[in-house]
């Protein structure tokens, strides 16, 4: 690369090209740093006033200017947990079908449709949530769960149609495509000999899949779950349209609640007073850190699996 002289490189525009593209690449880094900086600086008041107790205070009261993040952290975690509980079995099951059973052309076609599902915007999921899932919850799901199992704390109490469970169901539909596409890829990358060895030893198709292939790809599948989790944590529109918008902490899944993203969307443009606004930005910072950590873990797990696959097959 350095064999030609600087001047000759300059003359032929290479150095300029290098500089220009470097500036744009640097811009990406600068913007990201600026984003983190803005989040940090614009939440100073809240951080100084509340400190770490911000994470454990239940009260969110604009009248007395007292703000605690706990109800929103709770709502975010509960809805994401419900989403994963529903999405993981479905998603892994589907990805096994796509990777192991379906002939390649059908597998690709189905994956194509799954990719399209991932492209559906959040607000449309919200629209469907309001007009389909909420009435369904009220008329079918709630009676089905509450009558027989109403003694359990998670199924106790009245239902309003909106609430944690409704938001969890909508989120589950939204994150399934991520689980499927990544899990399908890692399953496909498991070397053939693993399967063939198991089959040669007399296992059934299912046994070779479940007991050999899937464990081999286990880390990557975990990665896909983390990816789905990161998406669920940050989801705004679909959640805010069906969660009930009440900062409540309740064991019951039928209770209305609120999530970090949802409360920011609702209250950001109207937060008068600096402490109010900065507390909301503080919530944004918490969300950012949460998704940052989960995304990082996801990527790590996926990389580990794909490397493992290539190592073994070599």
Among 152, 201, 205, 307, the residue binding other proteins under the rule CB under 8 A is 205
Of 183, 194, 224, 267, the one binding other proteins by CB under 8 A: 267
The residues, any chain, with a CB within 8 Å of residue 250's CB and separated by 6 or more, are 157, 164, 257
- CA distances from residue 264 to 26, 33, 227, 242, 304 in whole angstroms, order as listed: 30, 22, 22, 15, 35
Look up residue 2 and give its DSSP letter.
Answer: T
Question: Which ranges of the chain would DSSP assign to H, the alpha helix?
Answer: 6-11, 14-41, 44-50, 70-96, 104-118, 122-128, 134-136, 142-149, 164-188, 192-200, 205-208, 214-216, 218-234, 237-242, 260-267, 274-313
User: Per CB under 8 A, which of residues 235..254 are in contact with other proteins?
Assistant: 235-237, 241, 244-246
**Is residue 2 near other proteins by the rule CB under 8 A?**
no
140 binds other proteins (CB under 8 A): no
Among 61, 193, 196, 307, binds other proteins (CB under 8 A): 61
* Beta pairing class for 60-61 and 66-67: antiparallel
Q: Which of 180, 190, 212, 225 binds other proteins (CB under 8 A)?
A: 180
Least Å from the CB of residue 303 to other proteins: 12
Tokens of 280: 């909301």
Figure out which of the listed residues 40, 45, 57, 295 binds other proteins, where binding follows CB under 8 A. Answer: 295
- Beta-bridge partners for 66: 61
> Which residue from 2, 3, 28, 192 is in contact with other proteins, where contact means CB under 8 A?
28
Q: Which stretch binds other proteins (CB under 8 A): 131-139, 147-155, 185-193, 215-223?
A: 131-139
Binding string, residues 80-119; x marks residues near other proteins by CB under 8 A = ---------xxx-xx-xxx-xxx-------x-xxxxxx-x
Compute the least distance from the CB of residue 181 to other proteins, in Å.
11
| Closer of 159 and 194 to other proteins (Cβ) | 159
Q: Cα 118 vs. chain centroid, distance in angstroms?
A: 12
């Amino acid at each position: 690369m350095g064999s030609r002289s600087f001047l000759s490189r300059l003359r032929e525009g290479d150095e300029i090209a290098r500089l220009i593209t470097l500036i744009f690449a640097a811009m990406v880094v600068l913007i990201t740093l600026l984003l983190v900086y803005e989040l940090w600086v614009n939440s100073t008041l809240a951080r100084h006033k509340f400190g770490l107790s911000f994470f454990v205070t239940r009260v969110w009261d604009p009248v007395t200017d007292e703000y605690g993040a706990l109800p929103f952290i709770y709502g975010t975690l509960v809805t994401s947990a419900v989403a994963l509980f529903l999405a993981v079995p479905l998603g892994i099951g589907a990805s096994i079908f796509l990777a192991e059973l379906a002939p390649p052309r059908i597998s690709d076609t189905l994956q194509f449709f799954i990719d399209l599902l991932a492209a559906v915007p959040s607000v449309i999921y919200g629209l469907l949530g309001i007009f389909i899932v909420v009435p369904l919850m009220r008329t079918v799901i709630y009676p089905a769960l509450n009558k027989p199992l109403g003694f359990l704390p998670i199924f106790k109490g009245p239902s309003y149609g909106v609430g944690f469970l409704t938001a969890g169901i909508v989120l589950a539909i939204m994150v399934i495509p991520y689980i499927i596409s990544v899990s399908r890829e890692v399953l496909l990358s498991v070397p053939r000999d693993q399967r063939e060895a198991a089959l040669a030893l007399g296992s059934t198709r299912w046994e070779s899949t479940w007991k050999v292939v899937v464990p081999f790809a286990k880390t990557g599948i975990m990665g896909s779950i983390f990816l789905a989790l990161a998406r669920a944590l940050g989801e705004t529109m679909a959640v805010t349209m069906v969660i009930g918008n009440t900062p409540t902490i309740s064991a019951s899944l039928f209770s209305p609640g609120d999530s970090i993203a949802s409360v920011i969307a609702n209250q950001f443009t109207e937060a008068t007073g600096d402490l109010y606004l900065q507390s909301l930005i503080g919530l944004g910072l918490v969300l950012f850190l949460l998704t940052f950590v989960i995304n990082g873990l996801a990527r790590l797990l996926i990389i580990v699996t794909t490397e493992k696959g290539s190592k073994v097959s070599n």
